[in-house]
Structure 1
Protein backbone atom coordinates (compact mmCIF):
# COMPACT_ATOMS: atom_id res chain seq x y z
CA UNK A 1 0.00 0.00 0.00
CA UNK A 2 2.81 2.43 0.86
CA UNK A 3 4.63 1.67 -2.39
CA UNK A 4 1.47 2.35 -4.40
CA UNK A 5 0.93 5.62 -2.55
CA UNK A 6 4.49 6.81 -3.15
CA UNK A 7 4.34 5.76 -6.80
CA UNK A 8 0.86 7.21 -7.53
CA UNK A 9 1.03 10.55 -5.73
CA UNK A 10 3.22 12.35 -8.31
CA UNK A 11 0.54 11.62 -10.94
CA UNK A 12 -2.06 13.30 -8.73
CA UNK A 13 0.18 16.36 -8.57
CA UNK A 14 0.49 16.42 -12.37
CA UNK A 15 -3.28 16.18 -12.67
CA UNK A 16 -3.74 19.02 -10.18
CA UNK A 17 -1.14 21.18 -11.92
CA UNK A 18 -2.88 20.74 -15.28
CA UNK A 19 -6.32 21.37 -13.75
CA UNK A 20 -5.09 24.58 -12.09
CA UNK A 21 -3.59 25.75 -15.36
CA UNK A 22 -6.85 24.99 -17.19
CA UNK A 23 -9.02 26.40 -14.35
CA UNK A 24 -10.86 23.07 -14.13
CA UNK A 25 -12.22 23.16 -10.59
CA UNK A 26 -14.09 19.87 -11.02
CA UNK A 27 -10.84 18.00 -11.66
CA UNK A 28 -9.15 19.92 -8.84
CA UNK A 29 -11.87 18.76 -6.44
CA UNK A 30 -11.75 15.13 -7.58
CA UNK A 31 -7.95 14.83 -7.62
CA UNK A 32 -7.58 16.56 -4.25
CA UNK A 33 -10.27 14.33 -2.75
CA UNK A 34 -8.55 11.18 -4.00
CA UNK A 35 -5.16 12.33 -2.74
CA UNK A 36 -6.70 13.36 0.60
CA UNK A 37 -8.06 9.85 1.12
CA UNK A 38 -4.87 8.04 0.15
CA UNK A 39 -2.77 10.40 2.28
CA UNK A 40 -4.98 9.80 5.30
CA UNK A 41 -4.73 6.04 4.74
CA UNK A 42 -0.94 6.13 5.13
CA UNK A 43 -1.02 8.52 8.09
CA UNK A 44 0.09 11.62 6.17
CA UNK A 45 -2.28 13.86 8.10
CA UNK A 46 -0.58 17.14 7.20
CA UNK A 47 -0.80 16.38 3.51
CA UNK A 48 -4.38 15.16 3.89
CA UNK A 49 -5.27 18.51 5.49
CA UNK A 50 -3.69 20.43 2.60
CA UNK A 51 -5.61 18.24 0.15
CA UNK A 52 -8.82 19.02 2.03
CA UNK A 53 -8.14 22.73 1.57
CA UNK A 54 -7.49 22.19 -2.16
CA UNK A 55 -10.69 20.17 -2.39
CA UNK A 56 -12.58 23.09 -0.82
CA UNK A 57 -11.24 25.39 -3.53
CA UNK A 58 -12.64 23.05 -6.15
CA UNK A 59 -15.99 22.89 -4.37
CA UNK A 60 -16.23 26.68 -4.32
CA UNK A 61 -15.29 26.86 -8.02
CA UNK A 62 -12.11 28.80 -7.27
CA UNK A 63 -8.45 28.43 -8.15
CA UNK A 64 -7.26 31.42 -6.12
CA UNK A 65 -4.10 30.41 -4.26
CA UNK A 66 -4.17 26.91 -5.75
CA UNK A 67 -0.67 27.09 -7.26
CA UNK A 68 0.90 28.05 -3.94
CA UNK A 69 -1.14 25.40 -2.16
CA UNK A 70 0.05 22.78 -4.65
CA UNK A 71 3.67 23.79 -3.98
CA UNK A 72 3.03 23.30 -0.25
CA UNK A 73 1.45 19.91 -0.94
CA UNK A 74 4.43 18.79 -3.00
CA UNK A 75 6.87 19.88 -0.28
CA UNK A 76 4.84 18.04 2.35
CA UNK A 77 4.82 14.94 0.15
CA UNK A 78 8.63 15.01 -0.04
CA UNK A 79 8.77 14.88 3.77
CA UNK A 80 6.14 12.12 3.86
CA UNK A 81 7.96 10.10 1.21
CA UNK A 82 11.21 10.41 3.16
CA UNK A 83 9.51 9.20 6.36
CA UNK A 84 7.76 6.33 4.61
CA UNK A 85 11.00 5.26 2.93
CA UNK A 86 12.75 5.21 6.29
CA UNK A 87 9.91 3.14 7.73
CA UNK A 88 10.10 0.63 4.87
CA UNK A 89 13.87 0.32 5.23
CA UNK A 90 13.50 -0.37 8.94
CA UNK A 91 11.05 -3.21 8.20
CA UNK A 92 13.39 -4.99 5.79
Structure 2
Protein backbone atom coordinates (compact mmCIF):
# COMPACT_ATOMS: atom_id res chain seq x y z
CA UNK A 1 0.00 0.00 0.00
CA UNK A 2 1.12 3.62 -0.45
CA UNK A 3 2.35 5.92 2.29
CA UNK A 4 -0.17 8.68 1.42
CA UNK A 5 -2.37 9.63 4.34
CA UNK A 6 -5.56 11.60 3.79
CA UNK A 7 -5.87 14.56 6.16
CA UNK A 8 -8.72 16.17 4.25
CA UNK A 9 -11.29 14.69 1.94
CA UNK A 10 -11.83 15.65 -1.65
CA UNK A 11 -15.56 15.90 -2.15
CA UNK A 12 -17.91 17.33 -4.71
CA UNK A 13 -20.10 16.49 -7.64
CA UNK A 14 -20.16 16.78 -11.38
CA UNK A 15 -23.44 17.74 -12.93
CA UNK A 16 -24.67 16.46 -16.24
CA UNK A 17 -23.86 19.87 -17.77
CA UNK A 18 -20.08 19.59 -17.43
CA UNK A 19 -17.31 17.07 -17.86
CA UNK A 20 -14.19 16.43 -15.81
CA UNK A 21 -11.17 14.77 -17.32
CA UNK A 22 -7.53 14.34 -16.44
CA UNK A 23 -4.93 12.09 -14.88
CA UNK A 24 -3.59 11.79 -11.35
CA UNK A 25 -0.45 9.86 -10.49
CA UNK A 26 1.22 9.02 -7.23
CA UNK A 27 5.03 9.05 -7.07
CA UNK A 28 5.74 10.15 -3.52
CA UNK A 29 3.02 12.76 -3.79
CA UNK A 30 -0.26 13.14 -5.55
CA UNK A 31 0.12 15.18 -8.71
CA UNK A 32 -1.59 15.57 -12.02
CA UNK A 33 -3.83 17.73 -14.08
CA UNK A 34 -7.61 17.96 -14.09
CA UNK A 35 -9.70 20.12 -16.33
CA UNK A 36 -13.38 20.88 -16.35
CA UNK A 37 -15.45 22.07 -19.26
CA UNK A 38 -18.46 23.92 -17.96
CA UNK A 39 -21.24 25.45 -19.97
CA UNK A 40 -22.30 28.64 -18.19
CA UNK A 41 -24.46 31.69 -18.68
CA UNK A 42 -22.64 35.01 -18.66
CA UNK A 43 -24.14 38.01 -16.86
CA UNK A 44 -24.94 40.73 -19.40
CA UNK A 45 -26.41 43.39 -17.12
CA UNK A 46 -25.03 46.59 -15.63
CA UNK A 47 -21.83 46.44 -13.60
CA UNK A 48 -22.26 49.88 -12.02
CA UNK A 49 -25.36 50.70 -9.97
CA UNK A 50 -26.55 53.85 -8.19
CA UNK A 51 -28.86 53.14 -5.22
CA UNK A 52 -32.48 54.14 -5.65
CA UNK A 53 -34.29 55.69 -2.66
CA UNK A 54 -37.76 54.38 -3.46
CA UNK A 55 -37.36 51.21 -5.53
CA UNK A 56 -35.69 47.88 -4.99
CA UNK A 57 -33.14 47.01 -7.64
CA UNK A 58 -32.38 43.42 -8.55
CA UNK A 59 -29.35 42.50 -10.62
CA UNK A 60 -30.11 39.17 -12.32
CA UNK A 61 -26.82 37.44 -11.40
CA UNK A 62 -28.10 34.13 -9.99
CA UNK A 63 -26.39 31.14 -11.61
CA UNK A 64 -24.39 33.40 -13.93
CA UNK A 65 -20.70 34.12 -14.31
CA UNK A 66 -19.54 37.73 -13.99
CA UNK A 67 -16.64 39.23 -15.95
CA UNK A 68 -15.83 41.88 -13.33
CA UNK A 69 -16.94 43.19 -9.95
CA UNK A 70 -20.28 44.94 -9.56
CA UNK A 71 -19.81 48.44 -8.14
CA UNK A 72 -22.55 50.03 -6.05
CA UNK A 73 -22.01 53.79 -6.09
CA UNK A 74 -22.30 55.90 -2.97
CA UNK A 75 -25.76 57.13 -2.02
CA UNK A 76 -26.44 60.52 -3.63
CA UNK A 77 -26.24 63.32 -1.05
CA UNK A 78 -26.94 67.01 -1.69
CA UNK A 79 -27.08 70.06 0.58
CA UNK A 80 -28.68 73.39 -0.18
CA UNK A 81 -29.20 76.46 1.96
CA UNK A 82 -32.77 77.36 2.83
CA UNK A 83 -34.64 80.56 3.77
CA UNK A 84 -34.24 79.95 7.51
CA UNK A 85 -30.42 80.22 7.74
CA UNK A 86 -30.18 76.46 7.69
CA UNK A 87 -29.31 73.65 5.32
CA UNK A 88 -31.69 71.27 3.62
CA UNK A 89 -30.21 67.84 2.96
CA UNK A 90 -31.34 65.51 0.20
CA UNK A 91 -30.30 61.90 0.67
CA UNK A 92 -30.68 59.32 -2.09
CA UNK A 93 -32.60 61.76 -4.27
CA UNK A 94 -31.28 63.89 -7.08
CA UNK A 95 -32.25 67.56 -6.95
CA UNK A 96 -31.97 70.44 -9.35
CA UNK A 97 -29.42 72.61 -7.57
CA UNK A 98 -29.99 75.50 -9.98
CA UNK A 99 -33.64 75.95 -8.99
Fold-level similarity (TM above 0.5): no
Higher share in strand: 2
What is the TM-score when the length of structure 2 is the normalising length? 0.24
TM-score by length of structure 1 reads: 0.25
Larger helix share, 1 or 2: 1
